[in-house]
Structure 1
Amino acid sequence: MEIILKEDIQNLGHKNDIVTVKNGYGRNYLIPQGLAILATPSAKKVHAENLRQRAHKEEKIKNEALEVAKTLEGKSFTIGAKASSTGKIFGSVNTIQIAEALTKEGFNVERKNISMKEDAKELGTYTATVKLHREVKVDISIEVVAE
């Protein structure tokens, strides 16, 4: 079954992508939840026209994301956490704290667009990936220090 996505869905596709999914997943979950519409020939024509009109706006947004990526690249952010004398953190540093650190520096990034390859459960330096646009990703360095 072909559908047109209305929102970004992790491990499936981005907004306005035409993807093929199993019939049950499309009919029973994606379409009733309002996450997708059925890709009929008329819906595809409307979708193509909308994409043509949106292409200029997308280019502008992508260029802005590239500029932000250039300023973010190579930057290091410090996050304080309560830790034991052995260097273990009580809890862990997560995307919420990284998003707050980015906001303090003037970068407005939603926490759902930040991902870490490994959990920060000890003091040290970690790498986080910030997704600014569907085609623009940048790795930043996160240093976890004791408070």
Structure 2
Amino acid sequence: MKLILTHEVTNLGAPGDIVEVKDGYGRNFLLPRNFAIRWSKGAAKQVESIQAGRDARAIHDLDDARALKGKLESGAVNLPVRAGDGGRLFGAVTVADIAAAIEAEAGAVDKRRIEVGNPIKSLGAHTVSVRLHAEVTATVKLNVVASK
């Protein structure tokens, strides 16, 4: 199935890219979530306008991403969570929790761009990666502390 992406999709492409995917992936995931539109000759003309808009935003976004990266990497982000006596958490820290903590300290970050290697299930210092831009990735030091 040939599609034109309207949003960035991890490991697939950026807005305006024409991609070839399996029918089920396109029909069941990309199209219902409005991440892509079906390719046609008429829709192919929209690709140029989507890519022009993406290029104009990319320069502005790159500067903002570098500034935010400096903010995120300069200090640690504290994340208070409920924990038991042994320092073990009730559940795991989610990317939504991390995004909320980062937003409180440095600024808004999309939770879909946060990458956690292993699930965080204990108190202490952890590191997570945040893809701010295609060329900029910040490594955030995360201090998971017990809430009062």
Q: Indicate the TM-score class for this superposition, using the shorter chain for normalisation.
A: 0.7 to 0.9
Aligned residues: CA RMSD:
2.4
Residue identity in the other structure for 1:128: V
Question: How many percent of aligned residue pairs carry the same amino acid?
Answer: 33
User: Hey, what does 2:63 align to over in structure 1?
Assistant: 63
Correspondence for 1:90: 90
Q: Determine helix, strand or coil for the equivalent of 1:60.
A: helix
Task: Mark the runs of 5 or more structure 2 residues left unpaired by the alignment.
Answer: none
**Offset of 1:7 from its aligned partner?**
2.2
Moved over 6 A (4+): none
CA deviation after TM superposition for structure 1 residue 57, in Å: 2.7
Query: What is the TM-score with the length of structure 2 in the denominator?
Result: 0.81
CA-CA distance at 1:116 after TM superposition = 1.0
Residue 142 of structure 1 deviates from its aligned partner by 0.7
Paired position in structure 2 for 1:15: 15
Matches within 5 A, 1:1-147: 1-26=1-26, 30-31=30-31, 34-147=34-147
Separation in structure 2 between the aligned mates of residue 29 and residue 71 of structure 1, nearest angstrom: 35
When structure 1 is superposed on structure 2, of 71-80 and 23-32 the one drifting more is: 23-32
Between the aligned partners of 1:81 and 1:27, the Cα distance in structure 2 is 39
Task: Write out per-residue CA displacement over residues 66-124 of structure 1, whole angstroms, 9 at most, x where no aligned residue.
Answer: 11112212421122222222221122222222222212214111222222111111112
- Report how many residues are paired: 147
**TM-score, L = length of structure 1:** 0.81
Cα distance change of structure 1 residues 88 and 21 upon mapping to structure 2, 3 Å threshold: same
The runs of 5 or more residues in structure 1 that have no matched partner are none
1:90/1:59 Cα in 2 relative to 1: closer, same or farther (>3 Å)?
same
Question: Do the aligned partners of residues 10 and 57 (structure 1) sit closer, same or farther apart at CA in structure 2, a change above 3 Å counting?
Answer: closer
Distance 1:119 1:9, change over 3 A: same
